[in-house]
Amino acid sequence: MRDLIGMISALKRPGILVRTAKIGADDYRRDVHLRRILKSEAPAKTGEAILRILEIESVINERRIANHAEYSVAEHVEVLIALLGEARIHRAAYGPPPST
């Protein structure tokens, strides 16, 4: 299994979504944003949060690709902001992944 940061890096999303999320990630507040996205208390560990966010983002992205009426750009950006924010926290706590 690839490392968490590698899993995030492997995502292929439209540039405008990624650029917008990167800007928003500067204001990411785990206690506020993560609770809203996960609809529960934030997990203590960033790894668990990242995995849960990746699952949510995957469902949202499938809606985007299918042009589903329930797709929301704002929701997608909000989830991507949380993903990038958690990745930053994870990197700060555990350092960069080892190079192979």
Q: Which pTM does this prediction carry?
A: 0.87
Q: Is 42 or 74 the better-scoring residue by pLDDT?
A: 74
Q: Tens of pLDDT along 10-34?
A: 889 999 999 999 999 999 999 889 9
Q: Which amino acid is at 20?
A: T
Q: Average pLDDT of 58-74?
A: 96
**Distance, CA of 82 to CA of 39 (rounded, Å):** 13
Are the beta carbons of 33 and 78 closer than 8 angstroms?
Answer: yes
